[in-house]
Each structure stands twice: as C-alpha cells, then as structure tokens.
Amino acid sequence: MPRKSSETVGAQEIINVPNHVAIIMDGNGRWARRRGLPRIAGHRAGTDNIRPILEACVEFGVKVLTVYAFSTENWGRPQDEVRGLMRLLGEVIDREVSRLHANGVRLRHIGRLQDLPPELMRGVREGVELTKDNTTITLNVAISYGGRQEIVDAVKQIVVNGVEPEKIDESLISSYLYTADQPDPDLIIRTGGEMRLSNFLIWQSAYSEYYSTPVCWPDFNTEELRKALLAYSQRERRFGKV
C-alpha cells in the first residue's frame, strides 16, 4: 500500500506518494535520432538523467527507485552499442557512487551480476558494499535483468536448498527474488510511449499501477515525474477486492 503522505507541488496536491517507483527508461535511441546524433549519445543523455530524477524522488518522499538500465535481451543488440552501454554504466557508477553515499542513497543491483564485464562488476560490487547501510532512498539499478530469468533463478535456488513442495508459496518465492527484502513497486513508469512491461519486474508488478508517457527518457524531468505521481495519487488501488 502507498504511504499516506501529502506533497504539494504547484497548484495540485499529491495525496499518496508511492513507496516504490520503478522506471522503464525507454526512448534514448529515438531521442538521439531526432537530433541527428548517434544512439550512444542518447544513452549518455539517459544515464545523465538518472541523478536528477533520483534527487526528485527524494524530494517527493519516494523510498525506493528502480531503474531498468539493461535487460537480458539487450545483449542481442549490436556489439558496439552493447560495449558503449557497458562503458557508460561503469562511468556513471564510478563517478556517482561517492555522491550517492554522501547523500544517504543505498545502491543495489538487480539482475545477473555474473554477466557483466569485470570492471563494471567490480564497480557495482564496491558501490553496493559502500552504501549498504544508507537509508535515505534505495536505488535499484537493473543491469542484465530479466523478469523471467529472475523467476527461473529463484526456482533453481529453491530446489538447491531442498525446500519441500508444501512449503512453497508466494511469500517464499518472493524471498528468493533479486528484490527479496524490498516492497513491490507501487508505480511503474514507462517513458518513450510504449505500452508493455518488457520483461520487467513481472512477479513484483502484479498489482502495480502503470503510467506511460510519450516523453523520451532523456527529457523526462521533475515536472514529468510530478505528473506521473499525481496520476498515481488519483487512482484507487483495490488489489482485486471491492
């Protein structure tokens, strides 16, 4: 359930601020193409946009932000683009982790860490360890993440641990997911105008509210985030009940 809190922004009041916001950061390539730039320029603009949105989430009172940076399917993109994305993500983590720590951000990785290039893997591990006790906000960065793969990995570990079938329920499966100790997302935002989840948090999003905007991720600013939070606050969540 969303926290009962109130945030006044402009002339409209956000009554219920979601605890957990997840964002499918789509539209980087289209943003670049419209400007006659290479796709990697769009990805750079997209990675640069994470910090201001994170800061805005803190101001609004969001406690968990999850960003979909790179899916398991994205490994099938042209290798030059993949290498460029891995390099950008490594640069962002190396550049930002000290600032994140100083501002009380807990960095978490969700996805298959073992798939990442060694330098990026090292940076992620060091950032997670450095910030593990911070409490201002949790930033989950989904790199080499796939919702179906997450469930497969959870089931495999349950089998390895010898859990008896009668003890397997939704709560147990949730405890084996990458997001095990975190609340499910209240709101999932997709930028770039598409209307699909793209294998993102498919277990955790069973009752998430969904918000799609045509604004490409590099142009998704604090005002656009406010619009999404306002739309969320005006919905009634019944979780299958009357």
**Short-list 34, 77, 62, CA closest to 187:** 62
Given a contact cutoff of 8 angstroms between Cβ atoms, the answer to whether 141 and 109 are in contact is yes
131-166: string of b/e by CB count within 10 Å (b at 16+)?
beebeebbbbbbbbbbbebbeebbeeebeeeeeeee
**Short-list 99, 105, 88, CA closest to 47:** 88
Contact partners, residue 59, CB within 8 Å, separation at least 6: none
Q: For CA atoms 173, 133, 24, 94, give the dihedral sign.
A: negative
- Which residues are tagged catalytic? 26, 74
Given a contact cutoff of 8 angstroms between Cβ atoms, the answer to whether 187 and 18 are in contact is yes
